[in-house]
């Protein structure tokens, strides 16, 4: 999950732009407070979900397989964006960006990890979610990506 951020000069930066920079670097940060960070490993599939208020919010825009989990010497992700220290990075393999973003509102009824469909947003708190294969297949099938 990627949320909106704030630049050092106080200007907002939308989740779409933050994620774009992460994908360009082919690495995704996990922080000390990131749920399940110790369970994520090489070979796992990572879906990219945009939170926030800007372009593409509440959408899944793509996925990648994790090639490596790296522990940084420098815990600052970007020199120009406020953030908490990075605990580890997920090094991405081939990144698949979907031609059409998947709106969470369109698939939330089908996803098994969302138990309370009216309060679906609480299931995205903490930054990561462990998906069952059935949920991953629903997401992949929505964009005909395999």
**C-alpha to C-alpha distance for 81 and 18, rounded to whole angstroms:** 9
pLDDT, one tens digit per residue, over 6-44 is: 888 889 988 888 899 999 999 999 988 888 999 999 999
pLDDT, one tens digit per residue, over 94-136 is: 999 998 999 998 999 999 999 998 888 888 877 788 899 999 9
**C-alpha to C-alpha distance for 138 and 50, rounded to whole angstroms:** 18
Question: Domain residues of the chain, as ranges?
Answer: 5-103
Tokens of 134: 């059935």
pTM value > 0.75: yes
pLDDT, one tens digit per residue, over 37-96 is: 999 999 999 999 888 887 778 899 999 999 999 998 878 788 778 788 899 999 999 999
Please, what's the largest Cα pairwise distance for the chain? 43
């Amino acid at each position: 999950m990627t949320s909106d951020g704030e630049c050092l000069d106080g200007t907002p930066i939308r989740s779409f732009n933050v994620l774009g920079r992460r994908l360009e670097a082919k690495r995704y940060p996990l922080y000390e407070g990131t749920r399940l960070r110790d369970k994520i490993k090489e070979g796992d599939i990572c879906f990219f979900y945009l939170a926030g208020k800007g372009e593409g919010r509440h959408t899944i825009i793509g996925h990648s397989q994790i090639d490596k989990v790296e522990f940084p010497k420098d815990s600052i992700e970007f020199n120009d964006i406020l953030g908490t220290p990075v605990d580890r990075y997920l090094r991405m393999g081939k990144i698949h960006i979907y031609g059409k973003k998947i709106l969470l509102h369109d698939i939330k009824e089908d996803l098994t990890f969302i138990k309370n469909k009216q309060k679906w947003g609480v299931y995205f708190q903490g930054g990561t979610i462990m998906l069952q294969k059935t949920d991953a297949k629903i997401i992949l099938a929505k964009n005909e990506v395999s």
